[in-house]
Every structure is written in structure tokens, then in C-alpha cells.
A and B are shown apart, each in its own frame.
Chain A
């Protein structure tokens, strides 16, 4: 018995011995840390934080591009008649190419360079000075090129949204010229006013600080109002409204709408310009608003028409996403639900009733959803924005009306008004110019043949081949 205990004791000692050796030997790396060590540690942490933000921002940029191609291309494509599917998709795709080049040459500079309250200058023409170092005016933790390319995706989708108003009747050449010029004289100035350094409506330091987290005014009001103006200027499609022109493929539109919903996480949560908690707030608000709005439109339609349609449901979701866009990084989640619900019902009303009252042919409801939804969202942002989510005006300062700052609703209204006016005036001028030089609308024969054949010499589906 004693021998067994002895062996156990010796065995334990044997295993414990190395720890005694280690504890007693001096460890050369446990010296007091030097200043240089601390600095390089801080630099490494900072670099890791920046890389985290950059990773999310690059993903967000990709998500926003996905919203245009194929999100919007499919959504709009499915809604038009079969003979126009390719031309509709081409319009979105053309923006992906054209706007990229314009943005790189001068668009980014006009939007985000130093300039006046209304427009940026030529400091960053050809992306001069836009490198991999951050631009602290906009986002201190990501390369400015990340910021530039992220903003580019917004510049791409905004004119693409307008194509919904003039679907099935605009010449491809005229569309390319019109939307390119529109990007320079409406989009870049609006982006500058709301987000650019020194911009009139900039939330930090502008004369009329306006809260637009991800582009309710910059993207949706401008495109929506421009869409309305274009639809009226161009006139109705041949046969509208007597002839029924139902979507040729709700399947494609459905897929497109889902891609828009998911892509919108990049649109809104990416506008946090980082991967921190604000991105989470915007992400959740985006999703909640989409869901509530889809429900709102569906129920409104069920009551109004007796049946809930798939088109109504997906349009509702998009309306909610539009309305939450300016509010996404400023409001509480249940405010987002409410914003979405109201937007779903409101936009359905715009499309079912108001469009028919006035009789304009906004073919794919770009105004009814983006223009109206964006306006509603911008105003509701002034109401629901709270410092609890985003102290946009300073840590102790009220943000929106529910914090007590009712004046913010007026500021929002000012931003909305400026967006409406800039869009309407800019669009009318450009439409007039392009119409008198190239001509905007296709001939009636080409419109009846379909734009795929008349503009592109192609057919979208050749099911017999």
C-alpha cells in the first residue's frame, strides 16, 4: 500500500516538475512594454478595425450593384410586355456601363469634391486625389476609393429607376444621352447638397441640416419625380389605358424584387460607412420596413380588389424599402415597422387611385413607389429620427421630432422641396434638349413591333429554337 502511494506521489512530482522549472526561469519577453510596442499594437488594432469596415463596405457596394443588375433589370423586365424585355434590361445595364465612366471622369468630383453649397468642383476630376487613404470628410476608416465606388453604385441605380416611367417607348440612344446628362446635372448636385462637404442640406454643417441616411431624397425623390415628368412629357403608350398591358413575367419581377430586398441591406446598412452597431440598426430597420410594407400593400389590395396579388406584395416591399431609406440609420426598429406599414398603404393608394385620377402613364410606377415613397420617408424621418439610435446633431442634442426637435420635419420638407424642384426643372430642360436634337420617343411602328426588335434587333425569348 505504501509503495503504491509512493509511486503515485513520485509520478505527480514528475509531472509537476516542468511547471516549477518554467515558473522559476526568467521569461525574456515579459519586459515592460515600450512606447514603440504600444504604438505598433495600436496601429495593428486600428488597421484591423479599418479592414473590418472596408470588408463590409466592399460587400455593400457589391450588393447595391446587384440591385441594378440583375435586381432592377428583372423587376422591371418582368413587368413589361414580352416584346420589350431585353430593351428594358438593357436600359439598366447601360447605366452600369455609362454612369461608371462618367462618375470616374467627373461625376464623383461634382458630387463629393469641395465646391459650393450646391455642387462640388473639379478637384477630383479623373479621380485625382482619390486614393487608398481615407477621406475623413466622409469616412475615416475606409479608403476613399471604397467610398467612391460605393457611391458609384448609387449613382448607377438612380437613373436606372427612372427607366420605369418611360418603359416601352423611349429610344435607346435618347435614353443613354438623357440619363447621362441627368446624372451630371441632377444626381451629382443633389448628392452634393445632401452628402457632400459644404452641401446645403448636409446633416453636419449644412445651412438646412437634412437627415437622409442612404438616399431618400438623393435617389428616390429625384428619380421618382423625374420619372413623373418624363412620363407626362413623353405621353402614354399606344393603347394605354384601354388595352390591358399586364406583366409578361411576374416570375422575373418576383426574383428581381427579392434581389432588391437583399441588395438593399448594402444600400442602407452600408450607408453606415462601417461595420459597427449603426450598420446593424440600419440593417434591421431596412428589413422590418420591407416586411411591414409588403403586408400593408397586400392587405390594402385585398380589401380594395378582393384578392392579394403577387405584384402588390412585391411592390409593397419595395415601397417600404424606399421609405425607410432616408430613415434607416436614424430610427428605432418599431418606428421602421410603422414607416413601412404606412408606406405600403400610401404607395398602393398612389398607384391604384392617384395614377388613375390624373391619367399619366408611369408604366412601372417609378413615381408612385419611389417618388411618393421617398417623399413620405423623408418626412417621416424628421419625425422618427432619434439620438438614441444616431446622435446626428451631437451626443446631447435632439435629432428628430420624437426627441423634441420638431423643426427637423421642416428641414426635411425643405430638402424634399429642393429635390422636387431640381428634379422637375432639370428633367424638363434635358428632355426638351434631347427631344429637339435626337428625338425621345420611338415611332409608332417601332413601338408596336416592340423595342427589342426595333432598337436592338434581338428577341428576348426564342422558345422555338
Chain B
């Protein structure tokens, strides 16, 4: 089982969700996040002083999937979220030790 964490532009959320659904991934968690990589922030004015706002709004999508879905998920997310500009985001993959369905205590891959 693998955990996919993708940080994307908020405006790409709908496209990414649709793309994941199309490859058969239905369960995910969406978080509102703020952050930046190499993307510069924007400037705001407050009372005549210019301030740089570093923390930009982002969306983080987390999902735990079967190992064999890894490339499909990465491709789906990547192609839906890509604009070609700095700030598109990142995808991280990590291994998951255990998964449990709370409703009926199912464990392992069937819990996904």
C-alpha cells in the first residue's frame, strides 16, 4: 500500500479529482494548505508599506492506494494539475504500514 500526497494549485482541484476518478481512485482526503517552493509570493500593501506574502494558498490531496495503481495515480494527477509554470506543485509517494476500515475492522488491502 502506498500513500500519495500531492500539493497542487487550488484551481486544479476539480480537474485532479475527476482524473483520479477516471482511473478508479475514489477515496481521498483534501486539505487546504499554504506554502511555497521556488514560487515567489505576492506583494500586498498595508498603509503604504509593501509586504511580501510568502505563504500561498495550496491544496493537498492524500490517498492510500494499492501498489499497482501507483503509476496511474501519478500520471492522472500530473497531467490534470500541470500548467507548465512554477507553482504547479509536487507529488510524494511513501509506503503505508497498515490500513483499517473503522466500520467493520477490515484490515490490509481490502480496507482501501
User: Which residues of A are at the interface with B, using a C-beta cutoff of 8 A?
Assistant: 241, 244-247, 301, 304-305, 307, 309, 311, 348, 351-353, 355-356, 365
List 8 tightest A-B contacts by C-beta distance, closest first. Answer: A352-B48, A244-B51, A246-B46, A305-B45, A351-B47, A309-B45, A307-B45, A305-B48
Q: Among the listed A307, A348, A356, A365, which residue makes an inter-chain contact with B49, where contact means beta carbons less than 8 Å apart?
A: A356
Flag if A353 contacts B46 (CB, 8 Å): no
Contact bitstring B31-54, A, C-beta under 8 A = 1, else 0: 000000000000011111111010
CA A246 – CA B46 in complex, angstroms? Answer: 6
- Chain B residue numbers with a CB within 8 Å of A301 are 45, 48
CB distance from B66 to the nearest CB of A (A): 33
Would you call the interface of chain A mostly helix, strand, loop, or mixed?
Answer: helix
CB distance from B64 to the nearest CB of A (A): 25
| A243 (CB) vs chain B CBs: closest residue | B51
Q: Which residue from chain B places its CB closest to the CB of A245 in the assembled complex?
A: B46
Q: Which residues of A contact B48 (CB under 8 A)?
A: 301, 304-305, 348, 351-353, 356
- Distance in angstroms from B105 CB to nearest chain A CB is 28
| CA gap between A67 and B46 in the complex, in Å | 24
Q: Is the CB of B47 within 8 A of A244?
A: no
A/B interface sample: 26 pairs, CB < 8 A: A241-B49, A244-B44, A244-B46, A244-B51, A244-B53, A245-B46, A246-B51, A247-B46, A301-B45, A301-B48, A304-B48, A305-B45, A305-B48, A305-B50, A307-B45, A311-B46, A311-B47, A348-B48, A351-B48, A352-B47, A352-B48, A353-B48, A355-B47, A356-B48, A356-B49, A365-B47
Question: What A residues does B53 contact at CB under 8 A?
Answer: 244
- Closest chain-A Cβ to B52's Cβ sits at a distance in Å of 8
Query: Please, which residue of chain A has its CB at the minimum distance from the CB of B44?
Result: A246
Instruction: Tell me the complex Cα distance, A356–B50, Å.
Output: 12
Bound state CA distance, A305 and B49, in angstroms?
9
With a cutoff of 8 Å between Cβ atoms, the chain B residues found around residue A307 in the complex are 45
Whose C-beta in chain B lies nearest to the C-beta of A362? B47
Q: Which of B44, B45, B46, B50 has the most CB of A within 10 A?
A: B45
Measured CB to CB, the nearest residue on chain B to A306 is: B45
Which of B46, B47, B48, B50 has its CB near the most chain A CB atoms (within 10 A)?
B47
Closest to B48 in A: A352
Residue in chain B with minimal CB distance to A247 = B46
How far does the Cβ of B50 sit from chain A's closest Cβ, in whole Å? 8
CA distance A365 to B48 in the complex (A): 12
Residues of chain A within 8 A (CB-CB) of B51 are 244, 246
**12 additional A-B residue pairs with CB within 8 Å, beyond A246-B46, A305-B50, A307-B45:** A241-B49, A244-B53, A247-B46, A305-B45, A305-B48, A309-B45, A311-B47, A348-B48, A351-B48, A353-B48, A355-B47, A365-B47
Which residues of the other chain, B, contact A353 by a CB distance below 8 angstroms?
Answer: 48
Closest to A365 in B: B47
Give CA–CA (A311, B45) in the complex, Å: 10
In the complex, what distance in Å separates the CA atom of A304 from the CA atom of B49? 10
With a CB–CB cut-off of 8 A, which chain B residues contact A348? 48
The residue among B48, B49, B53 with the most chain A CB atoms within 10 A of its own CB is B48
**What's the minimum C-beta distance from A330 to chain B, rounded to whole angstroms?**
32
Chain B min CB distance to A345 (Å): 13
Nearest CB of chain A from residue B69's CB, rounded to whole Å: 33
Compute how far the CA of A365 lies from the CA of B53 in the bound complex, rounded to whole angstroms.
23
Q: Nearest Cβ distance between residue A318 and chain B, in whole angstroms? A: 14
Q: Given the complex, which residues of A lie within 8 Å of B50, measured CB to CB? A: 305
B41 to chain A, nearest CB (A): 11
Chain B residue nearest to A246 (CB atoms) is: B46
B47 neighbours in A (Cβ, 8 Å):
311, 351-352, 355, 365
Alpha-carbon separation in the docked complex, A365 to B49 (Å): 14
Q: Which residue of B lies closest to A349 (CB)?
A: B48
A346 to chain B, nearest CB (A): 14
Within the complex, what minimum Cβ distance (angstroms) separates A368 from chain B?
9
CA distance A25 to B74 in the complex (A): 107
* A241 proximity list for chain B (CB < 8 A): 49
- Cα distance, A356 to B48, chains bound together (Å): 9
Minimum C-beta distance from A357 to chain B (A): 11
Chain B nearest Cβ from A288, distance in angstroms: 26
Distance in Å: Cβ of A264 to nearest Cβ of chain B:
23
Instruction: Note all chain B residues with C-beta closer than 8 A to A356.
Output: 48-49
Interface-central residue, A246, A351, A353, A356, by most chain B CB under 10 Å = A246
Task: List residues of chain B with CB within 8 A of the CB of A244.
Answer: 44, 46, 51, 53
- Taking the closest CB of chain A, its distance from the CB of B31, in whole angstroms, is 14
CA–CA, A356 to B45, complex, Å? 14
A241 CA / B49 CA spacing, docked (Å): 10
CA distance A45 to B50 in the complex (A): 62
A245 contacts across to B, CB distance below 8 A: 46
